[in-house]
Structure 1
Amino acid sequence: MALQRTPCLFLLLVLTLLGLGLVQPSYGQDRMYQRFLRQHVDPQVTGGDNSYCNLMMQRRKMTSYQCKRFNTFIHEDIGSIRGICSTASIQCKNGKMNCHEGVLRVTDCRETGSSRPPNCRYRASASTRRVVIACEGNPEVPVHFDR
């Protein structure tokens, strides 16, 4: 009799855990969130120079097949970045209304135009400036660096 109740309790536990998991981003949003983290978040430094951009763009796999022309690295902890998602919504460049803005420490990396993958070369510009990021999910998480 106890053995028959075990699968029911296990099923109830699994359903409870799944229910709790509903507040997490969906698989697609989680994939986009992970991509956002890989391409844009580096809280370990406060700003970068040209060699920083050259190294990070390679490390983060944005120079494998072609040189990504422009990328921004955010030098804040993920909690601060996610906090921007709770500000008022504004319009994104694509017209959607899921963007949010805030001021963050960043390094902009711009491809010089005279390099070939995978040895792409970048010019860095470090600053504290207004940024716009797109957020999705419940709770909302950053999924795209808009500007």
Structure 2
Amino acid sequence: VTFNKISIFAGVLLISAAVIFVDGQSWSEFYNKHINAGMTDGQCTDVMRARRIRKPCTGGCKPFNTFITGNVDAVQAVCGEGGAPYGNGYVISYDYFKIVDCYLVHQNPPAVPPNCYYRGDESERRIIVRCENGEPVHFHGKGNIYCSYSA
């Protein structure tokens, strides 16, 4: 009886972890989290608040997020002729994109939404995305956060 309970628990845990591990299930979610044409590094706090971008699982302040500030059509094109296979289902863009990386400003006591403050850094780089149905659904970059559980 104990073995069956453990097996069921392990199965539920694995399924839950697999579902939670996927970040950005649709183009609209990807767009909300990672696209903002014309954004500047000084707008991180306002954009993160307005779009309600939070840390997965806990809903706390997300420590890091990247926005692509260029042409939306060019971002979508990465999933077609605008990119090359990168491995594990990802595609890397041929073109460089203007990027704003938003970093959580550490506060004491630690901030909780909506009182999260961010500083931004602007740069240009190639982007790496996972595509589904010809559209980006996951941004592969530094600081990705996934839920993790321990038994």
TM-score tier (shorter): 0.5 to 0.7
Match of 2:44 in 1: 53
Change (3 A) 1:142 1:41: same
Q: Which amino acid aligns with 2:100?
A: T
Maintained 8 Å contact 1:63/1:118: no
Q: State the Cα distance separating 1:97 from its structure 2 match.
A: 2.3
Using the TM superposition, give the Cα deviation of residue 128 of structure 1 relative to its aligned residue in structure 2, in angstroms: 1.2
Structure ID, larger Rg? 1
Q: Tell me, yes or no, if structure 1 residue 99 matches structure 2 residue 95.
A: no
Out of 95, 103, 110, the residue aligned to residue 110 of structure 1 is 103
In structure 1, the residue matched to 2:21 is none
- Structure 1 letter corresponding to 2:78: I
Distance (Å, rounded) in 1 between the aligned partners of 2:52 and 2:115: 11
In structure 2, distance between residues paired with 1:103 and 1:125: 16
Q: Which of 123, 126, 134 is equivalent to 2:122?
A: 126
Q: Which runs of 5+ in 2 are unaligned?
A: 1-23, 142-151
Match for residue 75 of structure 1 among 63, 66, 69: 69
Aligned-pair Cα RMSD in Å: 2.0
- The count of residues paired between Structure 1 and Structure 2 equals 109
Unaligned runs of 5+ in 1: 1-29
Instruction: Provide the C-alpha distance between the structure 1 equivalents of 2:61 and 2:39, rounded to a whole number of angstroms.
Output: 24
Do residues 62 (structure 1) and 47 (structure 2) align?
no
Alignment-derived partner of residue 146 in structure 2: none
Matching residue's letter, 2:84: A
Normalised by the length of structure 2, the TM-score is 0.65
The runs of at least 4 consecutive aligned structure 1 residues that moved more than 6 Å come to none
More helix by share: 1
Q: Percent identity?
A: 28
Q: Deviations over 1:23-67 (max 9, x none)?
A: xxxxxxx95111001111111x15322xx1000000111149310
Normalising by structure 1, report the TM-score.
0.67
